[in-house]
Amino acid sequence: MKEHSYRLYALIILMIQISIHASKAQYTIPPRMEWWYEARFGMFIHFGSYSYLGHGEWAFSEENWTKSAYQTQVSANFNPSDFNAGTIARLAKNAGMKYLVITAKHHEGFCMWETDVQSFKDITGTTMYDLPDYTAFGTRDILQELKDSCEAQDIKFCLYYSILDWNHSSQEINRHTYYSNMASESARTDYIADMKVQLNELITRYHPAVMWFDGDWTYNAGSPTLSSWWTKSDGEDLYNYLRSLDTAVIINERVCRSFSLGDFDCPEKEVPDTPLNRPWETCQTMNNSWGYKIWDQNYKTPATLIREMVKVVSRDGNYLLNIGPKGDGTVPEQSVKVLNQIGEWMAVNSESIYAATRSPFASEPVWGYYTKKPGKLFAHVFEWPDNGILKIPSLVNSIKKIYTLTETTTSISFADSNGYIRLSLPDTAPDPMNTVFVLDVSGIPEASSEFIKVTDIVITGENGAKTIDTYGGSLQLSATAYPLDATDNTVSWTVSDTNVACIDAEGLLTAKQDGTITVTAVANDESDIRGRLRITISNQTTGDQQFRDQTTVRIFPNPNEHGILNIIQTGKPKSELVIYDIYGCPVMKHVISEKSFSFDISSLSTGFYTIRISDDASVFIHKLIKS
């Protein structure tokens, strides 16, 4: 190596784009969650006294109700006399749903069961604020009825519970953030104690398989204040308390979101770009509302919902699809229609959903998604290829036969060569909504043509060494480096163990077997490259760009109407956040140190903004709407 003593502090703009993929799940599922992980598809039910009003479950906040007016004019008139648990359980069963989560208490604070916890009274302090005591509905226990009907249909019964409680005497709604402020520290501690007693009621009386928490927005990682009165340690304590009551219960992350608490993440109305690093579930509305809204007839089609469910499962998630019963307890006709049509597809294709897991491939085809289970790869085709050929990247597995779930006895001819399995298709799709091809294989389906799994990139500072796991195949490495005063702006590569992999041609990494290697980039003038390096690794065989920005950024809720904006980053979090108004003027700045970060933007006036999240290597820019 030429004696170059000078060091280069090259600030090299780097976007490390690496898809981290593996055919193996990247996390283990605890035994108590196996039924949930295999169920994949559940029903969400938003049902409360707000259903009587028919303006959605946020009516108390959005319509500026007072506690007294809401209780006497809305809750008191709620009478779900036509609620039929058997009908709802059969609807879920026919749709192919394996579990059901119903709101026991939403933000309104109205309890759908007979609670004995005395602080959950109406504003007069004389009557329990719950269905049997506060309405003319009578003494029926609809949660018990629904639990019994679910069990008769082999559906797991689960409960939703809001930590936030707009009608409880301990707190008042914050008309600015729409969350709630605690009256005092003692009110806070008393409320939390009473909430635990209520949860004990729910756990011991109904034994829900999942406790689905929500309304934890007023959280912070440190000590509580009257407006930020729920803390990370409260969430940890709540989780441990529930697990002490029932070791089998599964609990979502919203005991206190953003800290990876609970047993699974719950992205809402969105599907993560890539599988998350622990079990997760997307919850979704059938129209645009959770609770019944008279005017919301904007229902998604069954095809849209099936496609989203398949997309979720192909990224190793669960799908919780919501219905909002009317005030009388009946299910809106359009919801019934959509669920029945989903059920028709599930009756033929549920094998590709139940107990199916993430795609074995890092990149997704243009025509649909993959799911898999031991012995089978499922190719969900939503767009029928015009040329009559379906291309699937080759597998390491031997293929026994290929057929569709629509016509299981008809074998599909195929050829497997040059990195692809090519299926010859009939002119028209057997199922125009989503034809599912099944590749019967030996073992767990595993990609052969997409193989280099890039684990944590180790940037050593000098030479930009990278650590890559290999298990067969080849990848193109390329880099653009700008040593400030190097004679030649290109780089060459070396690998640490040529028994595991080698670089035959400029930048073509050929992996020979399972193993970890270190790829070292050296500037052609052999100077040290200091700083961080842009590595673009594209799959030589398929030519697909296999990258997703290793750092993905989620900002939600956006549009933002409630004030708190959540930022969740995967990978190494970017550090600086700036919000610009439509004139390009910075209106808010934050330094981010955690992957999950939340802050209040309620001071921003309604309008369009640009949010820029960056570090010295990369930038994330997105539109933000403050509504």
Instruction: Using DSSP, state whether 499 is helix, strand or coil.
Output: coil
Q: How far is the CB of 121 from ligand FHN (least distance, A)?
A: 23
- Structure-token pair, residue 246: 């029932």
Do residues 329 and 82 lie in contact, with contact meaning Cβ atoms separated by under 8 Å? yes
Q: Which of 538/566 has CB closer to ligand FHN?
A: 566
Q: Give the Cα separation of 274 and 548 in Å (integer).
A: 8
Q: Which of 94/596 has CB closer to ligand FHN?
A: 596
Q: How far is the CB of 289 from ligand FHN (least distance, A)?
A: 9
In angstroms, the Cα distances linking 300 to 285, 334, 346 are 9, 10, 17
Q: Give the Cα separation of 525 and 166 in Å (integer).
A: 67
Q: How far is the CB of 56 from ligand FHN (least distance, A)?
A: 8
Q: Which of 44/378 has CB closer to ligand FHN?
A: 44
Q: Which of 195/491 has CB closer to ligand FHN?
A: 195
Q: How far is the CB of 40 from ligand FHN (least distance, A)?
A: 18
Q: Which of 19/162 has CB closer to ligand FHN?
A: 162
Q: How far is the CB of 270 from ligand FHN (least distance, A)?
A: 11
Kindly give the residue spans of alpha helices, DSSP state H, lying in 12-54: 34-39, 50-53
**Helices and strands, counts by H and E, the chain:** 11, 34
Q: Which of 214/469 has CB closer to ligand FHN?
A: 214
The C-alpha angle 123, 127, 130, rounded to 5 degrees, equals 95
Q: Which of 32/269 has CB closer to ligand FHN?
A: 269
Q: Which of 290/361 has CB closer to ligand FHN?
A: 290
* Residue 377 CA to its chain's centroid (Å): 23
User: In sequence order, which residues have a C-beta less than 8 Å from that of residue 565 and are 6 or more positions away?
Assistant: 555, 556, 557, 558, 598, 599, 600, 601, 624
Q: Which residues bind ligand FHN (CB under 6 A)?
A: 57-58, 214, 268, 283, 290
Q: Which of 374/559 has CB closer to ligand FHN?
A: 559
Q: How far is the CB of 557 from ligand FHN (least distance, A)?
A: 7
Specify the pairing of strand 41-45 against strand 99-105: parallel
Q: How far is the CB of 215 from ligand FHN (least distance, A)?
A: 6
Do residues 509 and 495 lie in contact, with contact meaning Cβ atoms separated by under 8 Å? yes
Q: How far is the CB of 128 from ligand FHN (least distance, A)?
A: 23
Q: Which of 320/342 has CB closer to ligand FHN?
A: 320
Q: Give the Cα separation of 85 and 32 in Å (integer).
A: 26
Amino acid at 193: A
Do residues 330 and 454 lie in contact, with contact meaning Cβ atoms separated by under 8 Å? no
User: In sequence order, which residues have a C-beta less than 8 Å from that of residue 233 and are 6 or more positions away?
Assistant: none
Q: Closest CB to ligand FHN belongs to which residue? A: 290
Q: Which of 257/311 has CB closer to ligand FHN?
A: 257
Which residue reads 């930022």 in tokens?
567
- Structure-token pair, residue 526: 């052999």
- Structure-token pair, residue 24: 């193996």
Kindly give the residue spans of alpha helices, DSSP state H, lying in 422-567: none
Q: How far is the CB of 391 from ligand FHN (least distance, A)?
A: 38
Q: How far is the CB of 268 from ligand FHN (least distance, A)?
A: 5
Q: How far is the CB of 178 from ligand FHN (least distance, A)?
A: 9
Amino acid at 255: V
Q: How far is the CB of 103 from ligand FHN (least distance, A)?
A: 7
Q: Which of 213/547 has CB closer to ligand FHN?
A: 213
Among 293, 393, 311, 398, which Cα is nearest to 352's? 311
- φ/ψ of 480, rounded to 5, equals -125, 115
Q: Which of 214/525 has CB closer to ligand FHN?
A: 214
- Structure-token pair, residue 178: 């729409």
Q: Which of 58/191 has CB closer to ligand FHN?
A: 58
- Structure-token pair, residue 119: 């602080």
Q: Give the Cα separation of 148 and 483 in Å (integer).
A: 70
Q: How far is the CB of 58 from ligand FHN (least distance, A)?
A: 6
Q: How far is the CB of 102 from ligand FHN (least distance, A)?
A: 11
User: In sequence order, which residues have a C-beta less than 8 Å from that of residue 387 and are 6 or more positions away?
Assistant: none
Q: Which of 472/563 has CB closer to ligand FHN?
A: 563
Do residues 520 and 494 lie in contact, with contact meaning Cβ atoms separated by under 8 Å? yes
DSSP code, position 550: S
Q: How far is the CB of 193 from ligand FHN (least distance, A)?
A: 24
Q: Give the Cα separation of 210 and 403 in Å (integer).
A: 37
> For the chain, what is the radius of gyration of the CA atoms?
27
Q: How far is the CB of 214 from ligand FHN (least distance, A)?
A: 5
Do residues 298 and 287 lie in contact, with contact meaning Cβ atoms separated by under 8 Å? yes
Q: Give the Cα separation of 491 and 205 in Å (integer).
A: 67
Which residue reads 């490390």 in tokens?
16
Strand order in 576-580's β-sheet?
A: 586-591, 576-580, 607-614, 619-626
- φ/ψ of 403, rounded to 5, equals -150, 180
Specify the pairing of strand 250-251 against strand 210-214: parallel
Q: Which of 179/378 has CB closer to ligand FHN?
A: 179
Q: Give the Cα separation of 399 and 416 in Å (integer).
A: 9
